């Protein structure tokens, strides 16, 4: 079967190179270049992919405007390949690269949470995988684009179909095709920027951080709370590190008990905080530091 000569494959290759080059800068810890002083290379490449996909999906509807068959084609285009990717990543790549023993790896709930990606509920981390990389615990960060793309297909296509049938204006289907491409492009730029923050370890929001500080300072054993840092490993997987100054008159056992209380209090209110590391200053002076309360 002859394919139309529309150069979309060349555009896809160009977009893939933009994403590859743009993300390489991020993985080296520097800002990716700005194309024509307007948009970073990575988001630009993602936008091109979204626009092309939007127009091709609209053409697919025009060829066969049946909602059931349309959704079945969209699902068959995404789910089989995605399922293979997720299973190979979780059960082949993960076990090969994890720093954990295999028994501990497969018992970790994050492994099974990773399978939710097949249902477009995105999770990026696998236990012990890429934990020492510059962008730690990020496994296949590009998955974020799939639920966004699928949702926008549904929303814009359904609006176009509804308007075309209710108002009897078939041209609205064509207008919906144009809108699909435009919206996907704009949303791609925005979400690529936002997801990059999560991909490279975005902190929790200020309100959550202040609430964690309030919970810790409420413990009577704590004299002062120093620096407090957080980082997302995934949507529901947060690392918390705190510098805590305890009452110097407390014994080591009392400090350990206080650490346990603070950890439990924080996790009871913020269950997404899965990893807690506490630097206890009163213990540092006695030769113990960087106490891990996880």
Tens digit of each residue's pLDDT, the chain (294 residues): 455 566 777 888 888 888 888 777 766 766 677 777 777 787 788 778 877 877 777 777 777 767 678 778 888 888 898 899 999 999 998 999 898 899 989 988 888 888 988 888 888 788 888 877 766 677 887 787 778 777 776 776 676 666 666 766 666 566 666 666 666 666 666 655 555 555 445 677 788 888 899 998 898 888 888 888 887 766 677 888 888 888 888 888 888 888 889 999 998 888 888 888 888 765 444 444 444 444
Q: Phi then psi for 154, rounded to 5 degrees? A: -65, -50
Distance CA 29, CA 199 (A): 12
Q: Which two tokens stand for residue 144?
A: 């974020």
pLDDT of residue 75: 81
Could you give all domains of the chain from N- to C-terminal order, each with its CATH number? 8-199 (no CATH), 206-284 (3.30.70.1350)
E strands along 24-175, which residues?
Answer: 34-35, 39-40
Residue 222 contacts residue 257 (beta carbons within 8 Å): no
Q: In what order do the strands lie in the sheet with 222-234?
A: 222-234, 237-246, 273-280
Q: Please give the C-alpha separations between residue 253 and each of 259, 260, 283, in angstroms, as whole numbers.
A: 10, 11, 10
Report CA dihedral (55, 58, 64, 66) to the nearest 10 degrees.
150
Q: Please give the C-alpha separations between residue 292 and each of 68, 241, 256, in angstroms, as whole numbers.
A: 53, 9, 10
| Cβ neighbours of residue 181 closer than 8 Å, sequence gap 6 or more | 50, 51, 54, 55, 58
Distance CA 256, CA 280 (A): 9
pLDDT of residue 289: 41
Query: Half-sphere exposure of residue 201, counting CA atoms within 13 Å on the CB side?
Result: 16
Query: Half-sphere exposure of residue 110, counting CA atoms within 13 Å on the CB side?
Result: 26
Q: Please give the C-alpha separations between residue 53 and each of 4, 59, 119, 127, 149, in angstroms, as whole numbers.
A: 16, 10, 20, 33, 9
- Quick count: other Cβ atoms within 10 Å of Cβ 148? 20
pLDDT of residue 235: 62
Q: Is the pTM of this model over 0.85?
A: no
Distance CA 49, CA 14 (A): 10
Tokens 């049946």 locate to 66
């Amino acid at each position: 079967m002859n394919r139309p000569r529309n150069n979309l494959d060349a555009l896809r290759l160009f977009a893939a190179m933009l994403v590859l080059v743009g993300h390489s800068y991020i993985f080296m810890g520097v800002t990716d270049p700005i194309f024509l002083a307007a948009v970073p290379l990575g988001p630009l490449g993602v936008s091109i992919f979204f626009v092309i996909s939007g127009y091709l999906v609209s053409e697919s509807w025009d060829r066969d405007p049946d909602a059931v068959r349309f959704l079945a084609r969209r699902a068959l285009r995404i789910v089989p390949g995605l399922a293979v990717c997720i299973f190979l990543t979780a059960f082949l790549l993960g076990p090969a690269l994890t720093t954990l023993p295999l028994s501990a790896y497969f018992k970790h709930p994050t492994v099974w949470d990773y399978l939710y990606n097949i249902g477009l509920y995105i999770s990026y981390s696998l236990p012990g995988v890429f934990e020492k990389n510059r962008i730690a615990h990020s496994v296949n960060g590009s998955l974020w684009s799939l639920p966004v793309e699928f949702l926008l297909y549904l929303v814009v296509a359904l609006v176009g179909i509804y308007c075309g049938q209710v108002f009897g204006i078939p041209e609205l289907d064509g207008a919906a095709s144009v809108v699909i491409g435009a919206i996907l492009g704009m949303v791609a730029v925005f979400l690529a920027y936002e997801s990059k923050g999560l991909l490279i370890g975005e902190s929790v929001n200020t309100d959550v951080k202040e609430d964690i500080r309030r919970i810790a300072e409420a413990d009577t054993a704590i004299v002062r709370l120093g620096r407090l840092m957080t980082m997302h490993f995934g949507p529901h997987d947060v690392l918390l590190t705190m510098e805590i100054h305890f009452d110097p008159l407390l014994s080591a056992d009392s400090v350990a008990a206080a650490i346990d209380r603070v950890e439990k209090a924080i996790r009871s209110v913020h269950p997404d905080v899965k990893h807690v590391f506490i630097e206890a200053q009163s213990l540092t002076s006695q030769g113990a530091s960087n106490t891990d309360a996880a």
